[in-house]
Amino acid sequence: MNQSTPPFPAWGIPDPVRGVTGTEPLLAVDDLHVEFATRQGTVKAVNGVSYSLNPGETLAVLGESGSGKSVTAQAIMGILDAPQARIPRGRIRFRGTDLLRLKEDARAQVRGRRIAMVFQDALSALNPVFTVGSQIAEMFRVHQGMSRRDAEARAVELMDRVRIPGARQRLHDYPHQFSGGMRQRIMIAMAIALDPEVLIADEPTTALDVTVQAQIMELLAEVQRDSGMGMILITHDLGVVADVADKIVVMYGGRIVENALVHDVYRTPAHPYTKGLLESIPRVDRKGRELYAISGTPPNLLDMPPGCAFAPRCPYRQDNCTTEAPPLYRIGSTRGSACHYWREVLDGSHG
pLDDT in tens, 76-102: 999 998 788 999 999 999 999 999 999
- Specify the pLDDT at position 284: 66
Q: What is the mean pLDDT of the chain?
A: 88
User: What pLDDT does residue 205 have?
Assistant: 83
Who wins on pLDDT, 237 or 266?
266
Contacts with 180 (C-beta within 8 Å, 6 or more apart), sequence order: 122, 123, 207, 208, 212
- Rounded to an integer, the average pLDDT of 47-72 is 94
H-helix or E-strand spanning residue 37: strand 27-38
Q: Hey, which of 6-15, 140-149, 251-260 has the most confident mean pLDDT?
A: 251-260
The DSSP output letter for 195 is -
- pTM, rounded to two decimals: 0.88
Longest dimension (CA), the chain: 68
Instruction: Give the per-residue pLDDT at 14.
Output: 34
Report the pLDDT value the prediction gives residue 214, as an integer from 0 to 100: 87
List Cβ<8 Å contacts ≥24 apart for 204-213. 204/118, 204/120, 204/233, 205/235, 205/237, 205/240, 206/120, 206/121, 207/121, 207/180, 208/180, 208/181, 208/184, 212/180, 212/181, 212/184, 213/240
Contacts of 257 (CB under 8 A, 6+ apart): 250, 251, 271, 273, 274, 310, 328, 337, 338, 339
In the prediction, which pLDDT does 349 show?
59
**Does residue 57 register a pLDDT over 80?**
yes
Q: Quick check: 193 pLDDT over 80?
A: yes
pLDDT > 90 in the chain, percent? 68
Q: How confident is the model at residue 4 (pLDDT cuts 50, 70, 90)?
A: very low
Mean pLDDT, rounded, for 251-279:
94
Structure confidence at residue 8 (pLDDT) = 44
Q: Would the pLDDT of 1 be above 50?
A: no
Give pLDDT, residue 21: 44
Residue 10 pLDDT grade (very low, low, confident, very high; cuts 50, 70, 90)? very low
pLDDT score of 280 more than 60: yes
Mean of the pLDDT values across residues 274-298?
Answer: 81
**Cβ–Cβ < 8 Å for 180, 122:** yes
Q: How large is the average pLDDT for residues 193-204? A: 94
138, 154 in Cβ contact below 8 A?
Answer: no
What is the model's pLDDT at position 350?
Answer: 57
